[in-house]
Amino acid sequence: MELFDLTLRELHMKLKSGDVSSREATLAMLDRIERTDEQINAFITVIPEKALAQADEADKRIADGNMGFLTGIPLAIKDIFSTEGVLTTCASRMLSNFIPPYNAAAYEKLKEQGAVLLGKLNQDEFAMGSSNESSAFGPVRNPWSMERIPGGSSGGSAAAVAARQVTVALGTDTGGSVRQPASHCGCVGLKPTYGRVSRYGVIAYASSLDQVGPLARDVTDCAIMLGAVAGYDPKDSTSVKAAVPDYCSALTGDVKGLKIGLPKEYYIAGLDSDVKAALESAIKTYRLLGAEIVDISLPHTDYAVASYYLIATAEASANLARYDGVRFGCRAEDSEGLLEMFSKTRSQGFGSEVKRRIMLGTYALSSGYYDAYYLKAQKVRTLIMRDFTRAFENVDVILTPVAPTPAFGIGEKNNDPLQMYLSDIFTISVNLAGTCAIVIPAGYSVDGLPIGAQLIGKPFAEETILRAAHAFEQATEWHTLKAPL
């Protein structure tokens, strides 16, 4: 088996035994990236010299007996995380020359534990998209089919894991941006509870919805990564002061007596037949494992998309006001006066999808429309949160589809923004409710495309969804299949 084929846990054991050095593993990954990324376009920036220096440092730590799970592990992070001295673009022309003076808290934690950063991963511009086609650096291609999208906005993170360019990766999830790419690329993706992982140093899209999450090849690796980045951070005002459990100890493989809810609003007539078959098979597997299947209702699901695209765009409008060409980032040349410079900079720097969302959000917040749109959307959000609270009085986890279809073709939905937005119909409610969810490989379409299943848990119940996901993984082989690359 090649070094790039190893899971995080497998590579850790080889590093620990001395069979492999971090430098060797890092060189193998860098070679893999060089050989495959021209096809996939998962990376915006690769940093081989810095990566090898970190690998050598990790090897010294290992030799000294100062080793954790992530020491010497080569990984990459979405280009939305600030990285000191490394280009951080958010896949936008607006930040094409931006090099931050500090690290995002999540990456700093990985760095402190001895992880090796290979580079920064492609994404939808400012994390706004469901297909990874809005990037200023070109679309990411799905390793399972180069003509298909990998999902968005963390498409580069999912594609890099699926293509075995990295052992694990970090992404962010605002409305499904970790989970939907995980489903389309056949890997595991976790969206933690809002406040579980620090957002400090993550370039903001929608501050009340954004959350950092890992993407990995299996549930064990996902649990390790969550444990590495979770925890209270005083630099993030939304960070929750809650103890971080040992997530790996939750992976018992036992779900006997676990109550799994099936919301009728998610099993709709328009669901793709392959997706439906994969979910039916997952339900059957859980029954065989001894879980109890319960029919439930989340009655305000139909209003989630409208609510989300008012709240998210309103917050984006406010967050992206800082990109004006004055303090950092790109600045338009040949402008006559300050206002023209602002206007030209924002016109030239932002892509069409980002402009669309800024305009939607600005309109929703404008005088005379705030109460009619933004305030009403927040009230609907409260109703959605109550739906989940009531459902969790009767069940432990909720099992749903991730996306209505397997990965669609590149360019297929670019001229129909509404259809693109509906790609997230099964994931956005989790962000509105602020709770946690995990996606696991659950099947394949007739075209050989991965299909995931989503397990939603109570707030701060990541242990429960990890346990349920791990039990399913142990009973199936979907996670062992590799993209034909």
Q: Is 78 a catalytic residue?
A: yes
pLDDT at res. 133:
96
Q: Would you say 290 and 256 are in contact if contact means Cβ atoms under 8 Å apart?
A: yes
Helix 219-229 and helix 8-17: axis angle, to 10°?
80
pLDDT at res. 189:
98
Peptide bond into 153 cis (omega under 30): yes
Q: Would you say 131 and 165 are in contact if contact means Cβ atoms under 8 Å apart?
A: no
Tokens at 448, concatenated: 């050989």
What are residue 292's DSSP bridge partners? Answer: 259
Given 21, 92, 134, 153, which residue is catalytic? Answer: 153
Overall size of the chain counted in residues: 485
Q: Is 259 a catalytic residue?
A: no
pLDDT at res. 19:
97
Residue 118: CB atoms within 10 A of its CB come to: 30
Is residue 8 helix, strand or coil?
Answer: helix
pLDDT at res. 414:
87
Write down the number of H helices and E strands in the chain: 15, 11
pLDDT at res. 91:
98
Given 82, 134, 177, 183, which residue is catalytic? Answer: 177
Q: Is 347 a catalytic residue?
A: no
Residue 275: CB atoms within 10 A of its CB come to: 23
Task: Check residue 64 and report its DSSP letter.
Answer: T
Domain at 3-259+395-480, CATH homologous superfamily = Amidase signature (AS) domain (3.90.1300.10)
pLDDT at res. 393:
97
pLDDT at res. 272:
96
- Domain extent listing, the chain: 3-259+395-480, 302-380
Task: Tell me the C-alpha distance between 275 and 438, whole Å.
Answer: 17
pLDDT at res. 315:
97
Given 78, 109, 191, 413, which residue is catalytic? Answer: 78
pLDDT tens-place values along the chain, 485 residues long: 799 999 999 999 999 999 999 999 999 999 999 999 999 999 999 999 999 999 999 999 999 999 999 999 999 999 999 999 999 999 999 999 999 999 999 999 999 999 999 999 999 999 999 999 999 999 999 999 999 999 999 999 999 999 999 999 999 999 999 999 999 999 999 999 999 999 999 999 999 999 999 999 999 999 999 999 999 999 999 999 999 999 999 999 999 999 999 999 999 888 999 999 999 999 999 999 999 999 999 999 999 999 999 999 999 999 999 999 888 888 988 888 888 998 999 999 999 999 999 999 999 999 888 888 999 999 999 999 999 999 999 999 999 999 999 999 999 998 888 888 888 999 999 999 999 999 999 999 999 999 999 999 999 999 999 999 999 999 999 999 999 98
pLDDT at res. 334:
83
pTM over 0.85: yes
